[in-house]
Amino acid sequence: MQARLTITMLEITATIQIPEQELQERFVRSPGPGGQNVNKLATAVQLSLDLKRSPSLPEPVRERLLASGDRRIDRDGVLTIHAHRFRTRERNRVDARARLAECIARASVAPRPRTPTKPTRAAKRRRIDEKTRRGRVKSLRRPISDTD
């Protein structure tokens, strides 16, 4: 009998898929509720993806993820998702993968470039009027001199 090698992919978008080999999973004890098994079973999941070395991520997505300042990305460029919302290992695995997919999908959307605009005539007028008002208030605070 031959064993079949099935390569499953974590599908993010139609163009971005991450193979299972790039994901590292660790199971740890969960800080949440657990009943009798709370100190016996490792149900929480730590799902890691090395962003810098992942060949599956397009370069713009990788750059946006690394520049995002997300606290889940360490200085080596490894994104780690901690999932301990549920009591079962399998539901936490699914939750971690969904959160990873959502994080990468958010980074796959390029931000719209800002189009510079000029202030309107009314905005300029309000700014000048406010400066004049402030100057008048400050001049009223000055001591009155006898030479005036």
CATH of the domain at 33: 3.30.160.20
pLDDT at 117 over 90: yes
- What's the angle, vertex CA 48, arms to CA 42 and CA 51, rounded to 5? 175
Strand spans (E) along the chain: 9-11, 17-19, 23-28, 44-50, 78-83
Strand spans (E) along 12-136: 17-19, 23-28, 44-50, 78-83
Instruction: Say if 143 falls within a structural domain.
Output: no
Residue 20 tokens, joined: 């299972």
Instruction: Say if 139 falls within a structural domain.
Output: no
Residue 39 tokens, joined: 């100190």
Spatial separation of the C-alpha atoms in residues 74 and 34, rounded to whole Å: 29
CB distance 54 to 73 below 8 Å = no
pLDDT, tens only, 12-48: 777 887 878 888 888 888 776 666 666 777 878 888 9
Query: Average per-residue pLDDT in the chain?
Result: 84
**Residue in the block written with tokens 């889940």:** 72
Number of domains in the chain: 1
pLDDT at 59 over 80: yes
Q: Which domain holds residue 100?
A: 9-108
Instruction: Say if 125 falls within a structural domain.
Output: no
Nearest CA to 78 among 59, 106, 100?
100
pLDDT given at position 15: 80
Instruction: Say if 95 falls within a structural domain.
Output: yes
pLDDT, tens only, 123-133: 999 999 999 99
pLDDT given at position 57: 85
CB distance 16 to 65 below 8 Å = no
